[in-house]
Amino acid sequence: MIEQLPDLAAMERLGARIAERVASGDVVSLTGDLGAGKTTLARFILSALGHTGDVPSPTFTIIETYDDPAMKVAAAHADFYRLDHPSEAVELGLDDYREGRVLIAEWPEKAGGFSAEPGCLSINLEIEDEGRLATVEGGANWVGRMP
């Protein structure tokens, strides 16, 4: 599925649709160049899941967790940009962070990628003259619940 995102409101609507359908154990894999909107979309997803606080970019912390009681599902937001090798994700204890949560992963290829997982929703964001273009593909577990 390809979706035009001409403005922030369109990106917020996409984030809300993802949040409606996401479940514990899923991965939302966000790819795209620097400045493509990965962190912005992650913030919209977390907000739509029910998180009401700040959502700092995890560029330096690598992983931030969100376990607000009011959230539909707990989440981990990761930015793997600074990893040099996928083994570093294992060293960080990524599996522990994923347990009972949805993982929103920026730069997933740096952690070895998640697209082969049945619960992976892959979103590639591209900058266009008028906003962004989102290419959305879901794994087997996303059949019938694509946003």
> pLDDT truncated to tens, each residue of the chain (147 aa)?
999 999 999 999 999 999 999 999 999 999 999 989 999 999 999 999 999 988 988 888 899 999 989 999 999 999 999 999 888 988 888 888 889 999 999 999 999 988 889 999 999 999 998 889 999 999 988 988 888
d(CA 12, CA 110): 26
Q: pTM here?
A: 0.93
Sign of CA dihedral 27, 4, 14, 35: positive
Q: What is the CATH number of the domain that holds 137?
A: 3.40.50.300
Residue 54 in any domain: the answer is: yes
Residue 147 in any domain: the answer is: no
**Structural domain that includes position 118:** 2-141
3-state secondary structure of 84: coil
The DSSP result for 45-67, as a single string, is HHHHHT--S----TTTTSEEEE-
